[in-house]
Structure 1
């Protein structure tokens, strides 16, 4: 009897050891894109250095964790079309090749945006010249990558916080018709590619209503629009899950896809008069506005993890409506929030820290998918 019990105990220990080893292996090899592959794409924004694969450790992390990519800056007008008769596709070619090599979903960002324009574009005053520029710019870029880019942000940030149209150089020279034309030009250049309108704070009630009206006008004018991008530059307490959910439902009801395109969650205080996520806004720095210059306290790490978990739980609830969730950066050290809206701060908005280590927030998102949905 004793021999039997000893043998049984030994067998149990072997089985337990095997199970633990299997769990440890799964933990080490599991990734965001694998866990969510049946739900939606998990993407990240790539910097120029990342596109050129300058850091092997970062490159390895990108390839493991993500299956969709967006160019952080290099496809914006000032970089890809620096002079009237000159395009520079050097880095965008590498970006497309990177996505193709790694079998990733490739998102183009962005064709028409009032910010980060080349200096020569800002001097256009004539409506005929502006429309010709728009047509040439959109047609040239979209045609070049026809069949290779999966979706485009055709127009970026055309709305004010109250839902009215931003008085951009495009609106001032062409009127609101420019929105319809932009989508028509893109669709003509590549009829099969998905076309998105992208903005920040468009989960807020007033701006959401303006965005809905904008989408309806584009459709009524004969423009092809396949989805809306909610940038999702959020905070620990704001916006509410209720408003995010209302937005998913409202946009989906228009018959379009919903993507969360620039997700990050700031853990730092911001100036009271901060308005949205306009890159042109800057404020003076002080110690109160930079409370965690060296490391993020564990108590805040926990809050960040809980916030990410609640958001992804909502995303999973509506996964049939969501096409892609993209983080705005690979790791904390890369985040634009270290310099905006106050330069020189240390923020911790992503799932990986500056040393490329997964944070509690990463674990909280992964744990949602540990059991089959």
Structure 2
């Protein structure tokens, strides 16, 4: 009886230690960016608030990331709120941080249907402007913004989210007024402004077969017209069981076959229920708050935490498999406290989608990713 009791005690002790290890913050000597050096850049999105106020966040960035992208401060409504009136204060701080820390800087984004100022599409009477006026406004905006950071910003998300999940063109104001040529023109203008900068197309739901086919056809059409496009950004707002890794891999292979770089952009992994995966990452999508859709207010159960780690590992194995064409993997945020996932598509929830927790402590998965990089 005493021996049995002792054995049971050891079992309980080991289980308890394993649980504590799973919950404990990760300690690591090698940074993420150092671990993946020679494979691809490891990046993160930065907000204006972080650049102004949050040294704790910035210390995590300096240690672990060698690439940054502007979360909001370079979108057209922020940078040109009124016609001809440009506000570069936040964008300049973002670029200066990247320069000081020798980071690969990506500008995000030049042409996007969302977070664009209303004046961009209308005249003084509120009517849609002509095709010629719309093209001229695009040219002036792109030339001014790209030209300001010529040879400093190394890559630009030129056009964002222009293709729907079924592969057709989004019926945005750009499309309504100009037609599909707005994409070609945007790349043309960006190349004119900085011939040395890399130029990218960026979109969500890129593992969807319809979207995959639509993006491939769009890029082939641009290439046939002599338009330079250097890379495709696969926004990667993933969940514990969506999308299928096999479908994600099929898209990597399809985009690689076009002869362009592939970038994993806006990577985060939600662990809380998503009412409708068909919504993609459409920023305007909203659902009603319900308690059952916000199940982990205090902390994650061990089972979910383990699933989170396994899912990140699964995707990073895929990224390493295609490191010959993947140039950058960028997380959409630094830590769980400031992720957009807490408020999208349902405001006021508690999500855990990033590699660093709400106190900027590395999660155990960080060490696992570092070890995975060493093996590959």
TM score, norm. by length of structure 2: 0.90
CA distance in 2, matches of 1:272, 1:110: 26
Contact 2:51-2:94 at 8 Å conserved across structures: yes
Shift of 1:125: 2.7
CA distance in 2, matches of 1:270, 1:110: 26
Contact 1:80-1:88 at 8 Å conserved across structures: yes
SS of residue paired to 1:173: helix
Equivalent residue in structure 2 for 1:236, among 222, 240, 265: 240
CA distance in 2, matches of 1:303, 1:370: 22
Contact 1:143-1:189 at 8 Å conserved across structures: yes
CA distance in 2, matches of 1:300, 1:363: 18
1:151 aligns with 2:150: no
- Deviations 1:35-64, CA, capped at 9 Å, x for gaps: 001100000000102223x22221111100
CA distance in 1, matches of 2:94, 2:227: 28
Q: Equivalent residue for 1:86?
A: 85
Higher mean alpha-carbon deviation, 273-282 vs 345-354, is at: 273-282
Give runs of ≥4 in structure 1 deviating > 3 Å: none
Shift of 1:274: 4.6
1:197 aligns with 2:196: no
Shift of 1:367: 2.2
Equivalent residue in structure 1 for 2:267, among 247, 251, 263: 263
CA distance in 1, matches of 2:49, 2:195: 32
Q: Equivalent residue for 1:223?
A: 227
Kindly report which structure 2 residues correspond to 1:206-355, keeping only aligned pairs within 5 A, or say none. Answer: 206-272=210-276, 274-355=278-359
Contact 1:70-1:107 at 8 Å conserved across structures: yes
Shift of 1:283: 0.6
SS of residue paired to 1:60: helix
CA distance in 2, matches of 1:50, 1:355: 14
Q: Equivalent residue for 1:95?
A: 94
Contact 2:28-2:367 at 8 Å conserved across structures: no
Contact 1:236-1:267 at 8 Å conserved across structures: yes
Shift of 1:235: 0.6
Kindly report which structure 2 residues correspond to 1:71-220, keeping only aligned pairs within 5 A, or say none. Answer: 71-123=70-122, 124-220=128-224
CA distance in 2, matches of 1:223, 1:272: 36
Q: Equivalent residue for 1:44?
A: 44
Instruction: Structure 1 unaligned segments of length 5 or more: list them.
Output: 1-25
SS of residue paired to 1:334: coil
CA distance in 2, matches of 1:208, 1:187: 25
CA distance in 2, matches of 1:273, 1:300: 19
Shift of 1:118: 1.1
SS of residue paired to 1:320: coil
Q: Equivalent residue for 2:64?
A: 65
Q: Equivalent residue for 1:18?
A: none
CA distance in 2, matches of 1:248, 1:268: 26
Instruction: Structure 2 unaligned segments of length 5 or more: list them.
Output: 1-25, 123-127
Contact 1:302-1:361 at 8 Å conserved across structures: no
CA distance in 2, matches of 1:125, 1:243: 40
Q: Alignment RMSD, CA only?
A: 1.3
Contact 1:306-1:364 at 8 Å conserved across structures: no
Q: Which has the higher contact order (CA 8 A, sep 6+)?
A: 2
Contact 2:27-2:362 at 8 Å conserved across structures: no
SS of residue paired to 2:373: coil
Q: Equivalent residue for 1:3?
A: none
CA distance in 2, matches of 1:73, 1:272: 25
CA distance in 2, matches of 1:179, 1:216: 13
Contact 2:335-2:358 at 8 Å conserved across structures: yes
CA distance in 2, matches of 1:333, 1:122: 35
Contact 2:268-2:354 at 8 Å conserved across structures: yes
